[in-house]
Amino acid sequence: MRGSATDPNRATRRVLGTLAGTALLLPLLGAAPAQSGDSAAGLQRAFAAAAAEYHVPQSVLLGVSYLQSRWDSHAGAPSVTGGYGPMHLTDARTALASAPHHSEGTEDARGDSARAALLPDRQVPRLSEVPARLETLPKAAELTGLSAGDLRTDPAANVAGGAALLAAAQKELGEPLSADPADWYGAVARFSGADDSATAAAYADDVYGVLRTGEARTTDAGRQIALAAQPGLAPDTAQLARAGLRKPKAGDTECPKTVSCEWIPAPYEEFGDHDYGNHDLGERPASQSIKYIVIHDTEGAWEGVLNLVQDPTYVSWNYSLRSTDGHIAQHVKAKDVAWHAGNWYINAKSIGLEHEGFLAYPDSWYTEAMYRSSARLVKYLSAKYGIPLDRQHILGHDTVPGPTTSTVPGMHTDPGPYWDWRHYFALLGRPFKATATKQGGLVTIRPDYATNQPQYTGCVTSGQPCASHGSSEVRLYSAPDESSALITDIGVGRAPTIGVNDLSSRVSTGQQYAVAGQDGDWTAIWYLGQKAWFKNPRKTPTAVNAAGLVVTPKAGLDSVPVYGRAYPEASAYPAGVPAQAVSPLPYKVLKDQKYVVGDKVPGEYYYAVTFATDSHKVVVGQDLYYEIQYGHRVAFVRAADVDLEPSLRRWAGQPGA
């Protein structure tokens, strides 16, 4: 242990005192030179100082930190799994919550009105032992002599703690503290915290991929950090065999080879009086297409959530993703229908991904490791099932519509405003870009995540302000003035607020809307049947121009109904399958309004209300629907009610138009 546990300032002074003497080491250690005389160079120098102090190649230290946090410090706030600072040093006490999101509110995760509502009331089981991957910060404190408080809030101390952990892992493996980054593969794999060899290897491969390509970015604190590329770097992967890690659970998982994936099945069991859970067997895509991937967060820690998905009386989803290292567990095959989205039409045509984390507890950020692992899985599923990579097919749980009027207020809001959709779609290879001039008639919402910090309340205490934080979402007003009223969602039955879970007056990155007006720095869009305004300054835009297809009511119609599911007409149902109501939501598309179109689909209903599968049927009707981006959530309109047309803008463009 460095320093004295009773005198943490001694260790802090030693780390900070080496900063000035290490700037000249930067080119030798694999990173771009720091900008001398510039306070923004402080973190880059901290990496150099810690690398020199603990004899860890600076490029390795930078690569590991990038995969954890992209070098961001998050102002000392913990991640969704209680990780702090650029190295994501974990302290599990901040990571444990009491209930998963499927147990909150009134949402029926199955969302099938042909069956009694499924409203599980469960608590996430408390862990009897805290996994080692969630206690790296206390270990770093022991190794460095730095206080836990410094490791949480001081980026330089945090980097030193990460370097100490890497050096300790290298020694435990019996490897020398080599200056060659190729000699640190095993230590990097151990740093992931994974307890199985496949996850540890996937994590280490990702780090070495970053080392080969190099990276450079401005952090959330405005610091310029750079890692020089080492394209010929070939690590000693044989070290992993000596790391003492278990093999992952065998199973025929449906995952790309570039991620670590194990099979932890959700049970298909019959119990009680004709009850069964927690999903339905199917033959997708032969029986019906898979059109959506739904992004959730768990609102619970990894081990407890895995216990829930293995409970036959609970709900289910297809995949879980772990925050600390990006590890994936598959629970339900893609051919089968999991109960996760709160809308049976969406469930029957989607794959659900639960990401370990909390929407707002107390200040949310997700690791780069999980973002990358999730993006690889989504790209794989997209290619396999022909799912377009856009926001009308890659849905947040918060964009799934309520299937009926009564369900609208209880629909869920995860992954919330702190999920970085812009970065996620860049990892998917589909970055959001301007695709038209201002005459295109549409906008794609695209604020800068780090600097876009709308105020929210209710993250920790109801009604109290949340900590300032980057956000994917932009707020909507009834007039081009921030003092005007927020847009109201009539479906939720209450006045709009700035609560972190109130979606009434918010649009999200990547969503597209038809332009309804322009007034200086303000843009109006058609939203929930209203003209909604958001601030969109030319110098710091929150949206970019786009073009595409829109729907508008057919000539002679003053309005058309909006639906939460695309169900067939009654005459399409065969004998033995009860017809499901085609019931509109409390919304309308009004004359002259326009909404962006996703797919054109036939009405479809998957009848699966029995444990035995011989009665299961996919009913397909003649009525056609368009999926539209109606409000924050998607919705459906009957094709017979609307005209499809290009989005080219035709309004006069006068202030307030």
Q: Residue 9's pLDDT is what?
A: 37
Measuring CA to CA, which residue among 597, 361, 652, 631 is closest to residue 486? 631
Q: Which domain covers residue 177, as residue numbers?
A: 8-91+135-242
Between CA 133 and CA 142, with CA 136 as vertex, the angle to 5 degrees is 150
pLDDT at 516 over 90: yes
Residues 368 and 409 in one domain: yes
Residues 439 and 427 in one domain: no
Q: Do the domain assignments include residue 471?
A: yes
pLDDT at 656 over 70: no
Q: pLDDT band at 97, cuts 50/70/90? A: low
Q: Do the domain assignments include residue 81?
A: yes
Residues 556 and 453 in one domain: yes
Q: Write the pLDDT tens digit of every residue in 139-195.
A: 999 999 999 999 999 999 999 999 999 999 999 999 999 999 999 999 999 999 999
Cα gap 550→593, rounded to integer Å:
9
pLDDT at 121 over 90: no
Residues 593 and 604 in one domain: yes
Sheet holding 642-646, edge to edge: 584-590, 559-563, 634-638, 617-629, 595-607, 549-553, 642-646
pLDDT, mean of residues 572-586 = 96
Q: pLDDT band at 363, cuts 50/70/90? A: confident
Residues 378 and 426 in one domain: yes
Q: Residue 125's pLDDT is what?
A: 60
Going by C-beta distance under 8 Å and a sequence separation of 6 or more, which residues neighbour residue 510? 390, 391, 421, 422, 425, 432, 444, 445, 446
Between CA 381 and CA 387, with CA 384 as vertex, the angle to 5 degrees is 65
Q: pLDDT band at 657, cuts 50/70/90? A: very low
Q: Do the domain assignments include residue 209?
A: yes
Q: Residue 39's pLDDT is what?
A: 46
Going by C-beta distance under 8 Å and a sequence separation of 6 or more, which residues neighbour residue 569? 582, 603, 621, 622, 623
pLDDT, mean of residues 391-403 = 98
Last residue of a domain, one of 207, 225, 242: 242
Q: Residue 247's pLDDT is what?
A: 86
Measuring CA to CA, which residue among 494, 445, 493, 497 is closest to residue 466? 497
pLDDT at 70 over 90: yes
Helices (H), 428-495: none
Cα gap 223→366, rounded to integer Å:
20
> Is the peptide bond preceding residue 278 cis, with omega within 30 degrees of 0?
yes
Residues 532 and 602 in one domain: yes
The number of folded domains in the chain is 3
Q: Do the domain assignments include residue 573?
A: yes
For the chain, counts of helices (H) and of strands (E): 13, 28
Residues 370 and 460 in one domain: no
pLDDT, mean of residues 424-450 = 97
Q: pLDDT band at 14, cuts 50/70/90? A: very low
Q: Write the pLDDT tens digit of every residue in 300-349.
A: 888 889 999 999 989 999 999 999 999 999 999 999 999 999 999 999 99
Q: pLDDT band at 648, cuts 50/70/90? A: confident
Q: Do the domain assignments include residue 453?
A: yes
Q: Residue 358's pLDDT is what?
A: 86
Residues 277 and 238 in one domain: no
Q: Residue 361's pLDDT is what?
A: 73
Residues 450 and 509 in one domain: yes
pLDDT at 411 over 90: yes
* CATH number for 25: 1.10.530
Rounded to 5 degrees, what are φ and ψ at 220?
A: -65, -15
The percentage of residues in the chain with a pLDDT greater than 70, rounded to a whole number, is 89
Q: Do the domain assignments include residue 125?
A: no
Q: What is the mean pLDDT of the chain?
A: 90
Q: Residue 41's pLDDT is what?
A: 67
Going by C-beta distance under 8 Å and a sequence separation of 6 or more, which residues neighbour residue 374? 295, 321, 326, 353, 355, 424
Residues 279 and 426 in one domain: yes
Residues 225 and 257 in one domain: no
Last residue of a domain, one of 380, 411, 431: 431
Cα gap 182→191, rounded to integer Å:
15
Q: Do the domain assignments include residue 128?
A: no
Residues 534 and 614 in one domain: yes
Q: Residue 119's pLDDT is what?
A: 76
Last residue of a domain, one of 378, 407, 431: 431
pLDDT, mean of residues 591-617 = 96
Q: Residue 234's pLDDT is what?
A: 97
Going by C-beta distance under 8 Å and a sequence separation of 6 or more, which residues neighbour residue 557? 591, 641
Burial (CB < 10 A; 0-12, 13-18, 19+), residue 433, is exposed
* CATH number for 282: 3.40.80.10
Measuring CA to CA, which residue among 105, 103, 98, 99 is closest to residue 411? 105
Cα gap 67→71, rounded to integer Å:
8
Model pTM score: 0.91
Q: Which of 100-114, 346-360, 481-495, 575-589 has the lowest mean pLDDT?
A: 100-114
Neighbouring CB atoms inside 10 A of 53's CB total 18
Q: Do the domain assignments include residue 127?
A: no
Cα-Cα-Cα-Cα dihedral sign, residues 159, 163, 168, 173:
positive
